[in-house]
Amino acid sequence: MSKKIVAIVGSLRKDSFNRQLAMKAKEITESEAEFEILDISDIPLFNQDIEYPAPEAVKRVRDKVKAADGVWIFTPEYNHYFPGVLKNLIDWLSRPISSEEGQVLGNKKIALSGITPGMSGTALSQDHLVVLLSFLDAKIMNVPRLTIPHAMNLLKDGKLELGNSEKYLIRQKDAFLKFLD
């Protein structure tokens, strides 16, 4: 049976490089596995006062993550960290669904990618995600991770063209599909 991958993009920006990268990952993956980019734009700020019952948007995303074999995160880097929208979502996902069911990230297989106009290619942001996700007992594919720097050099008519970096995206896709087996 075909594996299910859900992608989470840590940027809400319409022309986000990371969203464009996720769309390219979808293009190269979907003949081999289901691949859905989750909409996280309506996830509210975490607040324990509204935790139970979980807001609809949280339920929707949580159910998709729960049903997925793997989660592929595409993260920007903000101040050498991952953006607050990702921390907020992960805080929601880290909470037990009910007293019978645990949280959905435990044992979940995760791939990490990121792209930035800066030099680090989001390596620092990804390192912080590894710390957080390890605490939640997610199973992170540490090799390969994909870090793409100098995104401005990859723009053609305002759109991302990976050129030589596409082979690294394909390598990560192949490795993640193996990791999910």
Binding site residues, ligand FNR, CB under 6 A: 11, 13, 16-18, 76-80, 116-118, 120
- Alpha-carbon span 72 to 177, nearest angstrom: 11
Q: Whole-angstrom Cα distance, residue 137 to residue 145?
A: 18
Pick the closer one to ligand FNR by CB: 12 or 50.
Answer: 12
Closer residue to ligand FNR, CB minimum distance, 127 or 174: 127
Nearer Cβ to ligand FNR (6/154): 154
Nearer to ligand FNR, 74 or 92 (CB): 74
- Which residue has its beta carbon closest to ligand FNR? 118
* H or E, element range at 82: none
